[in-house]
Chain A
Amino acid sequence: MFVVLALLVWELVALCVGAPYIVPAPQDVLVRGAELIATATFWQAVGWSLLRVLVGFACGMVCGIALAVPMAAWPRVRAVFAPFIKVIRTVPVVCFILLMLLWVNATWLSAIISALMVLPVAWTNTIEALDSLDAGTVEVARVFRLGPMRRLFRLYLPAIAPQLLATAAVGLGLAWKSGITAEVLALPVLGMGSNIYHAKIALEAADIFVWAIVIIVLSLAMESALRACAARFSGWEAA
């Protein structure tokens, strides 16, 4: 119902504007999408962007969790490093992109930006989950004198897995948004962001719509998969 309504509104706006290079009609976008999908460069661009977003997302999650664990365990470590993470969280993404453009190759810039956007979210949520870990679980670890690795990998991380998966779903959306924005500014040879930029220069609004739809579909599909995993782990407390 929502999709039909959105398409009707879109069609109406396209008719009112009457300029396909500003607002293309849905059928124009559909035709252009079919044309693009048939080209090899479309799939190369999708593949590269997907790879960069996934690499950035994975690095951001792993680094965020890895930083949160010692900070949750030792308040002094937290006091030293927490301000750095807070700075990363508050700096606008475009500042990072422009700075990174000076320092790194355009090919992997969007992966670095995605990682920088995901890291503070992963860090914050992991540290909050570890802080609110069930006291009973901590007592079991203490009484049975479990070593740090056993505590972490057999008790604490599985105990907070539902929160981590929910965080990953949010982080994935952020990784897509920031990664594609970085591609638009960095213009790697192959990437959806580069194609969006070139479409804008050529006033090919239909192309921009196609790329936006592809990004939305990919992002939602991956986020849904993660949320489905998270739902499986809900109610995963010590029995």
Chain B
Amino acid sequence: MRIVDLSKSFGDVRVIDHVDAKLPERGLIGVSGASGSGKTTLLRILAGLERPDEGRVEDVPDRFSMQFEDDRLFPWMDVLANVTLVGCDDAIALGILGELGLADKAHARISTLSGGQRRRVALARAFAFPTALYLLDEPTARLDEESARVVICAVEARSVDSLVIVATHDQAMLDRCAMVLGCESR
């Protein structure tokens, strides 16, 4: 996967400025930068949800998974149904929820979860959609230290066989990345 001379502006603010990068087939890649620096925009461009003003992204896998910046969970389904929405069976979803410390929340309503629990359910849904590319936007946001550690382990585990691109402020997560792309808006 290659990012070629990518630029994107919102009004007068240039959030991505001529970014070039060659990304490996697997591994953990970080996208760092202050709030509003374009991390989410970069992930959205990689996902094809946003068009760049200039440049292009080459060789993006057809099928990829994403954890959005906002959780985008659906209150008319319980936790398990939110995860199996992507097409996996219950056993796989329950395994992922267990891995992220949410085994006892499988049948909970979304409205009863804390912010950190919702974040992990959104991550579980992304993991339940097996692909060669995971785009994760702030997976450790709103998490306590222990939950963040669990999430970092789970993310690292996926990066063994897949390319995982993580937009994050979390230094512990960035320390584990093989490559970090810096974002800075102007």
Contact = CB atoms under 8 A, between A and B. Distances in A.
B172 interface: no
Interface stretch (B27-35, B65-73, B95-103, B140-148): B65-73
Interface string B81-107: 100011100000000000000000000
A155 B129 contact: no
A135 to B, nearest CB: 9
A144 B65 contact: yes
Nearest to B77: A154
Nearest to B62: A145
Interface string B44-88: 000101000000000000011110101111111100010001110
Nearest to B125: A144
A238 B66 contact: no
Contacts of A237: 75
A139 B76 contact: no
Interface residues of B, number: 24
Contacts of A146: 85-87
Contacts of B39: none
B110 interface: yes
Given A150-B85, A239-B118, A143 B47 contact: yes
Contact of B72 (A137, A150, A158, A161): A137
A154 B68 contact: no
A139 B74 contact: no
B113 to A, nearest CB: 8
A83 interface: no
Chain B interface, DSSP helix/strand/loop, else mixed: loop
A21 interface: no
B158 to A, nearest CB: 16
Nearest to B84: A154
A30 interface: no
Given A144-B65, A150-B85, A239 B73 contact: yes
Interface string B112-125: 00000010000001
Contacts of A142: 49
Interface string A120-144: 0000000000000000110110111
A236 interface: yes
Interface string B124-137: 01000100000000
B64 A143 contact: yes
A139 B67 CA distance: 11
A146 B74 CA distance: 14
Please list the 4 inter-chain residue pairs (A to B) with the smallest Cβ-Cβ separation, ordered nearest first.
A158-B76, A144-B86, A143-B66, A239-B73
Interface of B: 47, 49, 63-66, 68, 70-77, 81, 85-87, 110-111, 118, 125, 129
Given A139-B72, A150-B85, A239-B74, 4 more contacts: A136-B72, A139-B68, A140-B68, A150-B87
27 contacts: A136-B68, A136-B72, A137-B72, A137-B74, A139-B68, A140-B72, A142-B49, A143-B47, A143-B64, A143-B66, A144-B129, A150-B85, A150-B87, A154-B81, A158-B74, A158-B76, A158-B77, A159-B74, A161-B76, A237-B75, A238-B72, A238-B73, A239-B71, A239-B73, A239-B75, A239-B111, A239-B118
